[in-house]
Structure 1
Amino acid sequence: MKIGIFFGGPSREREISFAGGRTVYDNLDKALFEAVPVFVDSSGNFILLNWEFIYKGTIRDFYPPVSALPASSVPVQLYFESLGELSAAEQDAIIAEVGRRVEPRELSQLIDFAFLALHGPGGEDGAIQGLLEWYGIPYSGSGILPSAFGIDKVAQKKLLKALGQPTPDFRLITAKEWDAADPQATLDYLVRELGLPLVFKAPRQGSSIGISILREADVAQFAAAIERSLFRKTVTQAEWQGLSDAQKISWLQRLVDIRDGIGLPVVLADSVELLADSSTLNEANSQQLAANSSSILYRPDELLHALNERLETAESVLLTSVEGEMQVLVESFVQGREFSCIVVEDSNGQPLALPPTEIVKGDEMFDYRSKYLPGLARKITPIALPEADIQAIRDACETMFRTFGFQVYARLDGFIQADGTLFLNDPNTTSGMLPASFFFHQAAEIGLNPSQFLTYLIRTSLAARRRGGLGPVKLAALLARLDAAVAARAAGEQQRIRVAVIMGGYSSERHISVESGRNIYEKLSSSIKYEPVPVFLTGSSAEFRLYVLPINVMLKDNADDIREKIEHHEAGHETHPVLARIRREAEGITSTYAGPAATQPRRVTFEELAAMVDEVFIALHGRPGEDGALQAQLEQFGLPYNGSGVASSQVTINKFDTNRRLREAGLRVAGHRMAARQEWAADAESFFRGLETQFPYPFIAKPADDGCSSAVKKIKNRAELEAFTRLIFRDQEDLLPAEATTLSLGFKEEFPRKEAFLVETLIDRDGAAHFLEVTGGLLTHWGPGGELEIEVFEASEALATGEVLSLEEKFLAGEGQNITPARYAPEAAERQRISEEVKRELRRVAEILHIQGYARIDAFVRVRANGAVEVLIIEVNSLPGMTPATCIFHQTALAGYTPYQFIDQILEFGKQRTQQQAVRTM
């Protein structure tokens, strides 16, 4: 069956939609379905996307393509809408670089079914659902009417009030009312009516976009919250002129972010009266814009110029997104425990609430970053409440599902107060579909892995569309074919190669390791060739403890949650009675799509693991995993594994040893030395002076054996050096608050404890004509005579918004900016010449360090005015991150490998290496 995956779209949630569409693309069962990627751009064009672009980190990395981008002095990647008004021919030329335009009437010839991974307006509001019904194409999720209702928070609130269902009290403020209002009087009214804190929401947005919480009656904060929900920004002359040029650029970067800022294009006006009574920028509005000396600005450099010019004379200007909201929903704050619950239709078409998840976030709002970056918020499933309260949540969610007429699945959020009072709000007809989202997280509790869950949803959606009268004869045939294929797939389950995917660990990289491991698991589980077995490693360097994980534990939010679940089981705790009940209720689903499955983790020895699986994929990062210790254990039992062997791993895990060997071989590396705790403890002042003498500020300080940007800091002065030293040499687990503030550590940012750290000279431009940071991947093969061949991929150019690449930029969907291939030069021939020189140096690194399997090498590249190329190696990762958005997949796609094919090559290499070693020892 051909499944069209619709993702991207015009909404502010497009990056999560893009990442979710990739998850669906990868997890569709290849024995049952053919995935057809249909990317929807911000103008609503349908694009049959070339598969390699699916693995870009963000939409902006490939669309619009570099050839269509205007010259800009502001370093911000642009979305398609920033190109301005384009003719159909101009749009077609741009689309042709990434795929081909698909007219809606063509869809029925390309796909049998539409899986909708779109979010927000244009995706969840009934529009795309109506178009698909017009052309007779079945689609996933709810139909037109419940979708339109599900996106409108105001309509939902009114219906809940009318039905007498508990929901927070609310008031609406329209843009017109706000522009005419006295802010202080409006705030006083809202506080009197709703109390404090107040919650402000953009009524048609998801992913916590446009949401603020006002905790005190401060009129300036109140106005900022209203503007945030309307996607406006007032800029005063004093504020703007008080910024340096660099600060203005940073301010603009935040402003044009479609999630936290207002995005582009914007309208700039001297007066807030401009848009007071307009809901859309139609022709009349355009005339009004001209009459009020206002303009639509599409690009950040245009906006920068306009602000500089206008704020020379105007006391303030108002920026308004052309895709802003026209009203703000203001709610009373609910003090309670926050939960989210996925409801699906069971095998009889009745709503079945999966186990609700509690969101534990401390004082932080559950914002975009907390939702999508592992380790920042805790998801506890089921919510830790008495069984009766959990069942009350499930009953309420099933009731809302019926009341709103939802179909197939929905995600319902709410709060439960200490007295048991329930508040349900913000139902979503499309849930986020990242690997560890509530969507897959809760389905795993009934025993369905992502691939199986997607199969079930497609089947259920076909049945729902048929019940609604959409092509009943055609859909009956599709259902029969799918049911037969699912039964045949189940019969062939035992014929696949079993691969243990080892993830987790106990280092600061453990959460990213789990993300990598899950991604590998999902790529393999949807294949015809492999059957993955998830294995969690914990313990210490003295003793590795291995646990085979059931799917529900593997899909816990992060490594700490997984470890906690293992400890809970080992302490003798029984399965939660609510989980046992839900699994019984879901047996009609799981018996068809999953079969019997373990629900508790099981500890195994290496010997037992060797008897269970054919080979191993190590998805660990840093220690343990990349240091050779685990590899040595696996070799004892003849288990093939990915990546480099023991000796090479022992070198590359240590950045100091790696750099020393490379320098001795004649390669360029940064000046470096190790700084030991013992030296600092003996005489701190001499320790600091010694470093300052050898390394002028600024310089880089970082752990020698951790990755994932963990504790990598640009040290600019003595205060930062002292703070870094005290943090990394601290005795307690918790961070030191004053030092964390000095280093501007983010919420829950990992900072490991070490006995020594690495200090490096800051690599800078040094007068080069062109200077950039790159990361390059490689893959090794066995040649016809058994010799090692190294395939080096085109490197990616990494763009850091801060001083160093952050964890978010590397791994958070839609956050990082990686350009592949790297932009060494504007002319194609010169770019390729430089690229070949860079690849030659990366190949030398691999040869010197005896790297096998695959690796990622980070470097800086200087291109001199005379064309000379200098490659300065930063570090080598022998087991690079394999999360869905990591740039190594961008590089392998350019070389013609899908992520699955790349992983398959890695596994095959490890298997052949083990076979060669066995022959040599005979």
Structure 2
Amino acid sequence: MRVGVFFGGQSREREVSFAGGRTVYDNLNKSLFEPIPIFVDSKGNFILLDWQYIYKGTIRDFYPPINKVPASANGFQIYLESLGELTCEQQEEIISEVGRKVQPEEFRDLFDFAFLALHGPYGEDGNIQGLLEWYGLPYSGSGILPSAIGIDKSVQKQMFKDLGLNSPATTKLSKSDWLSQDHSALFHSLQKQLGFPFVVKAPHQGSSIGVAVINTEDQETFERQVNRAFFMEELDEAAWSQYSPQDKLQFIAGLVDIRSGIGLPVFYQVAGKGEKEIVYHPEELLRKLDAHFAQSAENIHLQAWDEEEFVLFEAFIKGREFSCIVVEDENGQPLPLPPTEVIKVQDLFDYRSKYLPGMSRKRTPIDLDLPSIRKIQKACCELYQKLHFDVYARIDGFITEEGEVFLNDPNTTSGMMPSSFFFHQAAEIGLNPSQFLTFIIRTSLAKRLQTGKRNQHLRNLLEGLDGEIASLQAHMAEKTKVAVIMGGYSSERHISVESGRNIYEKLASSEKYEPVPIFLTGSDKQHELYVIPVNILLKDNADDIRHKITEALETEKHPVLDETIAEAKNLTSKYAGVVDFQPRKLNYEQLAEEVGEAFIALHGRPGEDGAVQKHLDRLKIPYNGSGVESSQITIDKYKTNEILRSHGIKVAKHYLLEKEDWLTDQEKTVGYIEKEFPYPLIAKPADDGCSSAVKKIDDRATLEAFARSIFREEEELNQEDLRVLNLQPKEEFPQKKCFLIEEMITKTDAEHFLEITGGMLTQYGEGGVEYEVFEPSEALASKGILSLEEKFLAGEGQNITPARFAIGNAERNAEISKAVRGTLEKVARILQVEGYCRVDAFVKIYADRVETYVIEVNSLPGMTPATCIFHQCAIHGYKPYEFIDNILEYGKQRL
């Protein structure tokens, strides 16, 4: 069955949709489905996307194409709407660079079923559902009516009231009233009406966009948050004049961010007078603000093109927050999955907390007694039925200490990131993402059959799919079992889990492999291995997984899990067969008896240090990546750089600072560093990756705070050091016995300077090991150093693949790329890297030469869904699964 995966879209949630669409595209069972990528751009064009662009980190990395975007002096990346008003012909020209524009009347020729991963307006409001109904195509999820209800929080609140459903006290405010009312009087009126704190919401957004908890008496904060919910901003000269040039860039970048800011284009107006102008590009906005405030102290009023006409204010529910997926069984009856509790760092479960690994925790089921959980499930089912939802819905809410359940914000399209509630809760009844997507498609077909439109065609599709599903289990024995080893005990353990899950999901949807998820924990002295069931695999992060393994081995399962598993037994057996819900400890010898191969998805120590490889070599289990000796070198950044320098490779000047030297004579050590390394300098662990604790050090105070933190004895960080280092909430900072000081590589006198990351793949040829070095990616760091978010959070990182070595000169660009890739290959050969790897470097380009400074070599690079290496291998014709398959095949050939 051909499945058109719709993703992207016009809403502010387009990056989450883009990442979710990629998850669906990859996880559809390739024995049953052929995924067809239908990217929807911000103008509403439907694009049959060339598959390689699916694996870009963000929409802005490929669309609009870099050659269609005017060069930005400040490196701003933009969406299509920032190119201004475009004619149909101009849009067609842009689209032709990434795929082909398709009209709705062509849909039926391209696919048989539409899987909707779109979010927000135009995606889950009934618009696309109505279009598909018009052209007679079945689609996933709810129909037109429930979708229209699900998107509109104001309508929902009224329906909750009319239907007798529990919901927090709510009031709404129009934009015209907000602009004309006395804000102080309104603030105090809301406090009196709703209590304190209270919540402000944009009524047509999801992913916590335009939502804020007002928990301060500061009226200025209140006004700013309400303006943001209306997607407005008031700028004054006093604040603008205090900003440094870098502060201005960061402010503009935040302001025009479609998730946390107001987005572009904006209506620009001198407050209270003058004509409104439309500003499309962040560079243009920066110039206008600079020019205005240089001459005038009058405020500037900005209003987003896509605005809200009113906002909602809600009472803040003091209770425990949960989310519950409700699905329909094959008899059309709602089946609530075990509700998940959101354990937050702050009052608001915001975008960063929702989508960045390790930033929040989910507990499934919520830690309550059985009657309380049943009460939540009953309320969710009642809401599902009363609002006429179809197939599935995600329903959020709170339960108070008194046991009162309040529901809010039902979603007819759930987020579909790998560890989202959607997959997280399905795993509790034993379905992996591939199996759950099959269930959603099958259930959606059955639901569309009830509409009385094209019934015979739909019945044929349904019967054909049922036959294919029934035959799947018979072919399981033919697949190769692959242990996917993930987790670990380093600061990179959460990213390792993301990589491992991605590998698991790619292999689970293939026709060749049966992945076996293995979680590694313990210590350097003793590795502990556990085969984990899918419900534990899809926990939020490595710490959650480790906790759940212990809990499952030592305590009885919550009765609601047993209940739900029993209720879903017919459903689970159809899509997954027999499911084991219990983790199982094993050693390397037992692992060798159960699997034919291993994929090491670990990062840092253990994994990239050769420790796991030693065990696998001993037992003759083929694995991915480099062997023991090469791994032992590349894990050590200091040793790696020393070896490379001795072979004539350019590396940063560096110094290994030992804890003993620091404690013996701190003043002498600081003096030596300041003499040899001018500020700013780089400090980082010598044996960690994933940007873990990599910091730009601007002064002595920051250097001392870094050293105190990394050499600390206790687990907790000193609060003052945390402030000085500007660490994010929950950001990991390892404890080490040494760390690396490096000079900061800068442009100096080069014509062009950029940071790149280059991947490669090895294969056996007639002359031995051959290296296929991919076109490198250009990494754009917003604050000098790539952050965890920029590497791994959907929609954050700015990576351009291939790198722009010579903008506007294709011949020169190819020449430089060849030189850089030659250096990267030389590095890999010197270090005897095998299988695949990623090399990070800085490139200085002069008129007569190219200098490539190697930063580090990753022998087991991150394999998260949006990582750069997938962008690069796509240019060379490898889909991610094909890339992984090549890596596994190389491991077998080496053995």
Q: Normalising by the residue count of structure 2, what TM-score does the alignment of the two structures yield? A: 0.99
Q: What are structure 1's unaligned runs of at least 5 residues?
A: 274-291, 915-922
Partner in structure 2 of residue 304 of structure 1: 286
Whether 1:215 aligns to 2:215 is yes
Partner in structure 2 of residue 500 of structure 1: 483
Give the Cα separation in 1 of the matches to 2:368 and 2:187.
36
Counting only pairs closer than 5 Å after superposition, residues 315-354 of structure 1 correspond to structure 2 as: 315-354=298-337
Deviation at 1:272, TM superposition (A): 5.4
8 A Cα contact 2:199 2:313, kept in partner: yes
Deviation at 1:309, TM superposition (A): 2.8
Partner in structure 2 of residue 23 of structure 1: 23
Deviations 1:590-630 (A, max 9, x none): 01000111101100111110010000000000000000011
8 A Cα contact 2:132 2:138, kept in partner: yes
Deviations 1:519-544 (A, max 9, x none): 00000000000000000000000000
Counting only pairs closer than 5 Å after superposition, residues 357-436 of structure 1 correspond to structure 2 as: 357-436=340-419
Give the Cα separation in 2 of the matches to 1:71 and 1:700.
29
Partner in structure 1 of residue 123 of structure 2: 123
Deviation at 1:222, TM superposition (A): 1.3
- SS of the aligned residue for 2:165 comes to coil
8 A Cα contact 2:165 2:383, kept in partner: no
8 A Cα contact 1:357 1:379, kept in partner: yes
Letter in 2 for 1:893: A
Q: Moved runs in structure 1, 4+ residues, more than 3 A?
A: none
Letter in 1 for 2:500: G
8 A Cα contact 1:187 1:217, kept in partner: no
- SS of the aligned residue for 1:47 comes to strand
Counting only pairs closer than 5 Å after superposition, residues 765-784 of structure 1 correspond to structure 2 as: 765-784=747-766
Match of 1:586 among 568, 571, 576: 568
Give the Cα separation in 2 of the matches to 1:557 and 1:604.
23
Q: Please say which of residues 515-524 and 74-83 is displaced more in the overlay.
A: 74-83
Relative to structure 1, the CA distance from residue 272 to residue 905 in structure 2 (aligned partners, 3 Å threshold; closer, same or farther) is farther
8 A Cα contact 1:120 1:204, kept in partner: yes
Q: Please say which of residues 511-520 and 688-697 is displaced more in the overlay.
A: 688-697
Letter in 2 for 1:323: D
Q: What are structure 2's unaligned runs of at least 5 residues?
A: none
Partner in structure 1 of residue 250 of structure 2: 250
Counting only pairs closer than 5 Å after superposition, residues 79-90 of structure 1 correspond to structure 2 as: 79-90=79-90
Partner in structure 1 of residue 158 of structure 2: 158
Q: Please say which of residues 870-879 and 674-683 is displaced more in the overlay.
A: 674-683
Match of 1:692 among 652, 674, 677: 674
Give the Cα separation in 1 of the matches to 2:272 and 2:63.
33
Deviation at 1:514, TM superposition (A): 0.2
Deviation at 1:347, TM superposition (A): 1.7
Partner in structure 2 of residue 276 of structure 1: none
Whether 1:848 aligns to 2:830 is yes
Deviation at 1:364, TM superposition (A): 4.6
Deviation at 1:363, TM superposition (A): 2.7
Deviation at 1:708, TM superposition (A): 0.5
Give the Cα separation in 1 of the matches to 2:153 and 2:746.
50
Give the Cα separation in 2 of the matches to 1:139 and 1:479.
13
Whether 1:50 aligns to 2:44 is no
Q: Normalising by the residue count of structure 1, what TM-score does the alignment of the two structures yield? A: 0.96
8 A Cα contact 1:154 1:329, kept in partner: yes
8 A Cα contact 2:15 2:59, kept in partner: yes
Partner in structure 1 of residue 853 of structure 2: 872
Give the Cα separation in 2 of the matches to 1:506 and 1:43.
46
Deviation at 1:576, TM superposition (A): 1.2
Whether 1:641 aligns to 2:623 is yes
Give the Cα separation in 2 of the matches to 1:717 and 1:314.
35
Whether 1:574 aligns to 2:559 is no
Deviation at 1:328, TM superposition (A): 0.6
Count of aligned residue pairs for this structure pair: 893
Give the Cα separation in 2 of the matches to 1:909 and 1:303.
52
8 A Cα contact 2:760 2:774, kept in partner: yes
Whether 1:543 aligns to 2:543 is no
8 A Cα contact 1:138 1:470, kept in partner: no
**Percent identity, aligned pairs only?**
58
RMSD (CA atoms): 0.9
- SS of the aligned residue for 1:534 comes to strand
Deviation at 1:380, TM superposition (A): 0.2
Deviation at 1:195, TM superposition (A): 1.2
Deviations 1:572-600 (A, max 9, x none): 21111100000000012101000111101
Deviation at 1:872, TM superposition (A): 0.3
Give the Cα separation in 1 of the matches to 2:818 and 2:310.
55
Counting only pairs closer than 5 Å after superposition, residues 134-213 of structure 1 correspond to structure 2 as: 134-213=134-213
Partner in structure 2 of residue 448 of structure 1: 431
Relative to structure 1, the CA distance from residue 364 to residue 779 in structure 2 (aligned partners, 3 Å threshold; closer, same or farther) is farther
Partner in structure 2 of residue 741 of structure 1: 723
8 A Cα contact 2:82 2:264, kept in partner: yes
Letter in 2 for 1:11: S
Deviations 1:381-413 (A, max 9, x none): 000001110111011101100010000000000
Partner in structure 1 of residue 35 of structure 2: 35
Give the Cα separation in 1 of the matches to 2:213 and 2:251.
22
Give the Cα separation in 2 of the matches to 1:303 and 1:690.
45
Letter in 1 for 2:243: L
Counting only pairs closer than 5 Å after superposition, residues 589-668 of structure 1 correspond to structure 2 as: 589-668=571-650
Counting only pairs closer than 5 Å after superposition, residues 651-730 of structure 1 correspond to structure 2 as: 651-730=633-712
Give the Cα separation in 2 of the matches to 1:490 and 1:347.
20
Partner in structure 2 of residue 788 of structure 1: 769
Deviations 1:494-551 (A, max 9, x none): 1101100000000000000000000000000000000000000000000000000100
Give the Cα separation in 2 of the matches to 1:244 and 1:513.
38
Partner in structure 1 of residue 239 of structure 2: 239
Q: Please say which of residues 682-691 and 533-542 is displaced more in the overlay.
A: 682-691
Letter in 2 for 1:745: L
Q: Please say which of residues 207-216 and 448-457 is displaced more in the overlay.
A: 207-216
8 A Cα contact 2:20 2:117, kept in partner: yes
Deviation at 1:184, TM superposition (A): 0.6
Deviations 1:886-907 (A, max 9, x none): 0000000000000000000000
Give the Cα separation in 1 of the matches to 2:146 and 2:208.
21
- SS of the aligned residue for 1:758 comes to strand
Deviation at 1:74, TM superposition (A): 3.0
Deviations 1:161-205 (A, max 9, x none): 122221110110110111111111111111111111010000000
Give the Cα separation in 2 of the matches to 1:20 and 1:272.
42
Give the Cα separation in 1 of the matches to 2:332 and 2:570.
11
8 A Cα contact 2:213 2:347, kept in partner: no
Deviations 1:91-130 (A, max 9, x none): 1110000000000110011110000000000100000000
Letter in 1 for 2:636: N
Partner in structure 2 of residue 757 of structure 1: 739
8 A Cα contact 1:126 1:148, kept in partner: yes
Give the Cα separation in 1 of the matches to 2:271 and 2:750.
46
Deviation at 1:680, TM superposition (A): 1.2
8 A Cα contact 2:434 2:508, kept in partner: yes
Give the Cα separation in 2 of the matches to 1:296 and 1:569.
58
- SS of the aligned residue for 2:267 comes to strand
- SS of the aligned residue for 2:429 comes to coil
Deviation at 1:314, TM superposition (A): 4.8
Deviation at 1:256, TM superposition (A): 0.7
Give the Cα separation in 2 of the matches to 1:437 and 1:837.
42
Counting only pairs closer than 5 Å after superposition, residues 281-292 of structure 1 correspond to structure 2 as: 292=274
Match of 2:516 among 533, 538, 545: 533
Partner in structure 2 of residue 108 of structure 1: 108
Deviation at 1:362, TM superposition (A): 3.1
